[in-house]
Each structure stands twice: as structure tokens, then as C-alpha cells.
Structure 1
């Protein structure tokens, strides 16, 4: 099968490329698909609360080439607050423009259509385009909605939006030819939703080696002088400040562990200002400004241990695969995670430890144990993580799993 006869449309409202902020999972996969003689089109939007710099000033569509594949930007309703109803309408608008684009570009005729949540409404577009083009439909689940909405945002199971989204989720599981999840035990959730077992492919977030080896920059030295304390054991978190991560559980440990520890929290998000206000009297807790992704490694290297936490929610028991763990593991630092979660990349690599939710003594003792080690001993733990993701989670390897699902590679 030549390239002309191998066409994939990858639809995700929140996909992005490096020139507008960062290469997301989608663009990393598209780059690898293209290397396998596949004609790839990434269809995304210029409406996102995640990135400030996105293309503007066009009517419906903007097409560009990037790393050998096509990127089609759709101009849809903008919003600022991720919890606003305008975001909901932005999802609907995106799907309308997706279908309009498909009608105008029907001659391209994709053989495979990937719809990547969020938004769940892309499932509807995917099912329609599957029928129109007689294509294989792949439903990629990166967040289990509406279950996350119910458990983390405390929305009622009987809320009209939840009922609608649950119907769409079930539609996606039922009509998709393949289901891909970034969480290891998604199959258990799918079985509950469908009332029967259906095969689910576990393809977690990966590491783009080109980005980590070739696109890194050093953060401004003034940032390091201003925010990185000297002669402290540095416990660092880098990522989003949102309710799902229950960062106050990490901060509460800082109060009892001693002044020779410094807890640094880097990033942005809806919970950041309230956390800064609530814990302003904690002398060993510091909140740092967000930095570009390609400068983050230079900051992570300043830490002694990297940490993360999760709320105690059933949805996390199906598995977690945060993008930040890839950043963490590449930096060659040990990781400690607080929460009742399933995370194979930590357990299999040996680079991290998961502490049960609420077990603050064990969490604190693990930090004390790491402090008692030499820097070389801690680095040896961290190296296990870097070696694991390079060997098992680079996008070249993960893309081969995906392409087998397309039917373009024989097993």
C-alpha cells in the first residue's frame, strides 16, 4: 500500500505543535506516522485554555505543513475559563467545522480516523465520518469523561450534560473499531459502560527524543537565582494547579518535615492563587512562575526529588499517565507520588514510588530516606526512569503499536 492509499485523520480539539506552545502527543505521533509512509492530517482548533499563542486571523481553516504532515487549524469560539459553558459551545462549534472541512475535502478520503478526547463530541464526528468514508475509527481516551467530571468537579450523575456525555462515551466505545487508552486499566471502565468486554489498547504518553535532545533551552539564570534556594533539599512539583491533584497534601507534609527541605511548586492553574494565599506562612514552601516546556528540564535538574499527588477518586484506579512523568523521568530524578493510583511506568521502571493516599508518615519517611542518600545514589534511581522511557515509551515504538491497529503493518 503506497502513501496515497494510507491516509489518517487525527482529530483533537486540543492538539498543538511546538511553534504555538508545545508538541502534544498527537503531533508526536503524526511525525512518526509520516516516517512510515502514511499521509497524515492533524485537525485541531485555535481555541484552548491551555495555550496563549495560537494562530488567529483566518476564516474557517488554516492549513500548514509541520514535520512532514498536514496541520489543519479550525477557527472556533474562544473561551478563557475552562469551566464555563462557552467551552461547551466551543466543542460543538469545533465539530460543526470538522464536518464542514470533511465535506470540502472529501476527495482525500481517509482510511483511518482517530478521535482523541477531549472533546467527547469528536466521537460524533468520528462515527459520522466512519460511515461516510467507510474508514476505521479509533477512539483515543486521554481522560475518562464524564466520570472525571462527576468525581473531580462534583457534578451530579443526573446532570443533563453528564447524561449527554455518557451517551456519547458509550457511542464511541460501541462504534469504534479500536479503543486506545493512556491509562492501563481502561478496559475495566469500558466493560462497565458497555456491559460487556471489548478490547482496549494501552498506549501511554511517550517521550519525543528529538525534543528532549535537540530543542532544549536553559532557563534564564536570573530565574534560578531568584527562585532556587541554596543549601536545601529540594522537593519539586512541576505541572498544573488543579483540584484533581490535591497539592495541599504535599504542602501539608512540608510543615512537619523541617526547614532544611524546600518545596517548590512550578506551573499555573485555577488553584494556584488560593494555595499561595492559604500557605503563605509556610517558610519552606515556594510557588514559582510557569516556564516554557523546553526550559523545564534545566529547572528539574535543580531538584533532589520530584513529587506528585492525586485526589482519592475511583477514576484514577483505572490508571494514570501524566505528561509530567515523562518530563520527570527524563530528568534522572527519583519520583514520589501520593495517591491511590495505578501507574505502570513508575512501578515497572523502578524510578518512583507510589504512596497510599493519606499515608503522610510513609511519604515523609520516603523523602527523609532520599535525603540520607548521596546525590549519586539518587541519580542511579532516576536513571532507571530515563532508561525505561527511552527504551519503552519513545514515540517511534509507540507509533508502531498504533500503526498495527490501522492495519498498515502485518503482525
Structure 2
């Protein structure tokens, strides 16, 4: 098959330290024998593209033919300029010289920007292509649940219309979250062909053996303590308040120390709250390729999400993948549809707002023997290697497309 993948944020590895999921999938599709082209943009705050006056830039990166489109830049993720950047990308998609792209048998449109499904539908009608609508964030639900937007906001209404249009007119909806099909049924009123293709990992990025001899965090971690670590943003949607309160409750436990790394709107507030507590240390935000070194030095890893209807359909977070690859027990303050951690038996979920439950969960794992703690963390690493390698996810993705194309033929 000739496959055309389109996503505004699918940065290739030559312009980003961490190649985007869709770029990795495109590379795997090629390995499976399918000619695959990727269209993306240069407007991504996780990547740095060269400055150019050329709008449509064609190149081949790691055997993947791609076109990156020069698009309006923005600095804040929650801003009007980000939305305007979406529209700029869509406008320039329609100006693309399609003679430079092989006629696609399959078009995969991956959000964000959700508006790209309009261009995908245009290609479907023009070439009779099989159209895949891929959802990585549920918009506009995320806007109303976590962004504070009214359900009657004009942008929410517009995106809601586009979302429904995409579900209705695609041949297959793919979601990174396992229960997105329930949301689709709520929107359409009927079931739609669905496939879950979650976030995964490329083992080539995890070939380096970590150890005490090359870990830059060696001198920052206290010795002879059980380290509970958190790596990530510290903002409103991360709901770290119960974790902060639990740190206070455990200040007299001399065996436990907490380490937090990252940045965010609430970091200064949390540091101020804990400035007189000796059982916690905040580290500055670190580069993505340094996260694995931080996780390696921890004994237990923590993550949290805000209570939100978004999580009713499950999660597929890079953080969970990275935590499991680190082979550490995981405690997650999370009230949504459970997956991964429970499936692999590598930790436990606790209610987001229950401080006593979080304290109990931490102490349960702290009180395990080193062997049992290592086994618990090892369960996660074993499971993620068996179920989330991108080579496996790409193969499952292709099988689903072929199955439906044959069924509809």
C-alpha cells in the first residue's frame, strides 16, 4: 500500500531529540513493505527546524520521505497563536503540489491539529483512499474538562463539529487510549470501526546500559534512602497537591526521600510549601534524554492526573511508558479507566484526592524486600517490551487497515 501520514506535530529525529510517534510508525510501515510518506510542520515547541523561506520542504529522513511545511510559530501552548498556527498549517496543506506525493491508498490523519481531517477527507474523495482518523487527545473534551472552556464557546463548538465530521467520514478511527470507542459512540450514536494504537517505544533508543559509573545524578541523590521520584510538569492538570501533602505526612520516616524534577506553573508554590522539610529535593527541569538517568536512581515512581471525564476512556502517556521501562514500581493517582500498570502488575492506582490512600500505597512498597520491589518493577519492564514496541504496534495497525479494506472491497 501507499500510505500518507499527516500530523502537524510529527517531528523527525533530525530536528527533535525524541522522534514523534507517527514518524516511528511510518518507518515501521516501510519496514513492513508499505511505501509511506509523512507530512508535518516546523511549528513544534519540542523541535528546532532550519530557517527557510520555502513553504513545502521535501527530504528523506531515516528512509522516510517527508514534507515539512513552514508554519506560523507560537510560544505558549495555551494561546490564540497556537490555534492560528493550526489554521495556517491547514491552509498550506491545500497548496501542496500533490504531483510530488504518490497517490495514497491509505491516508492517516493524526491530531492535533484536528482540522487536518478536512484535508484527509478531500484526499479520500480525490483518490478514493481509505481514511484513518487518529486521536491522541480528545478535543474538545480536553478543553472543557481541563482547559476551563464553556461547552458553548465558539471554538469548542467548531472543534466539536469537526470531531463529529471526522468520526463520521473516516473509514477507521484510531485512538491512543483503549476506550475511545465509547466516546465515539456517545458522539455519533452508533458504533464505528475502531482500533487502539497506544504510545510505545523504540528499543533502539534504550540500548545504552545505565549504571552508577555514568549517571549524572549520582551526587544529587541521598544515600541509604528509598527514593520516591516524580518526573514531569508541575501544573494544574498534574494534580500534585495530594503528593505534596503526603510528603509532609512522611517527614518523620527516615527511610524515605522524595525527589521531584521538572517545571510548571505550580513548582515555585510547591517548593515554598516544602522549604522546611528535609525529606524532599526539587531538581531543575532536565533534558528529555536525561530522564532515564533520573528514573534509574529512584526506587519508586509516582504520577498523577486531575480527576476528569477525559480519563474515562483510558490513558496512553509517555510518562507511564518511561516509568515502566525504568523497571521501577509505579504508584499512580488516577481515577480513570485502568490499564498498563494493572495489566502488568507493576504497581497500583490510588484515588487522586485520597492522601491517606497514597501514603498507604507508598509505605506498602517501601516495606517490601529489595527483591520483591525489584520484581514488581521488573513486571512493568517485561510487559512493556512484550506489548508496546513500535514494531508490534505498527504491525497491528496495518493488519487492522488491511482487514477493513478487504471487508469494504
TM-score grouping bracket, smaller chain normalisation: over 0.9
User: Which residue is 1:142 aligned to?
Assistant: 136
The 1:217–1:134 alpha-carbon spacing in structure 2 relative to 1, beyond 3 Å, is farther
Asked whether the 8 Å contact 1:42–1:70 carries over to 2, the reply is: yes
Partners of 1:86 and 1:219 in 2: how far apart? 45
User: Which residue is 1:236 aligned to?
Assistant: 229
The 1:297–1:197 alpha-carbon spacing in structure 2 relative to 1, beyond 3 Å, is same
The 1:210–1:167 alpha-carbon spacing in structure 2 relative to 1, beyond 3 Å, is same
Shift of 1:27: 1.6
Unaligned runs of 5+ in 2: none
Name the SS for the 1:65 alignment partner. strand
User: Which residue is 2:334 aligned to?
Assistant: 339
Partners of 2:264 and 2:214 in 1: how far apart? 22
User: Which residue is 1:79 aligned to?
Assistant: 74
Unaligned runs of 5+ in 1: 1-5
Shift of 1:139: 0.8
RMSD: 2.3
Length-normalised TM-score, structure 2: 0.92
Name the SS for the 1:161 alignment partner. helix
User: Which residue is 2:370 aligned to?
Assistant: 375
Name the SS for the 2:94 alignment partner. helix
Partners of 2:335 and 2:62 in 1: how far apart? 39
Q: 1:177 aligns with which of 171, 174, 191?
A: 171
Q: Matches of residues 6-155 of structure 1 in structure 2 within 5 Å?
A: 6-19=1-14, 20-49=16-45, 51-101=46-96, 103-105=97-99, 108-155=102-149
- 1:335-363 CA-to-partner distances (Å, cap 9, x unmatched) read 00012122321111111211122222121
Residues matched between the structures, number:
403
Partners of 1:139 and 1:219 in 2: how far apart? 46
Name the SS for the 1:236 alignment partner. strand
Partners of 1:218 and 1:176 in 2: how far apart? 50
The range that moved more, 139-148 or 252-261, is: 252-261
User: Which residue is 2:153 aligned to?
Assistant: 159
Pairing 1:351–2:346 present: yes
- 1:54-77 CA-to-partner distances (Å, cap 9, x unmatched) read 333242122222222112211100
Q: 2:384 aligns with which of 354, 376, 389?
A: 389
Name the SS for the 1:332 alignment partner. coil
The range that moved more, 297-306 or 10-19, is: 10-19
User: Which residue is 1:168 aligned to?
Assistant: 162
Name the SS for the 2:191 alignment partner. coil
Asked whether the 8 Å contact 2:261–2:285 carries over to 1, the reply is: yes
Name the SS for the 2:232 alignment partner. strand
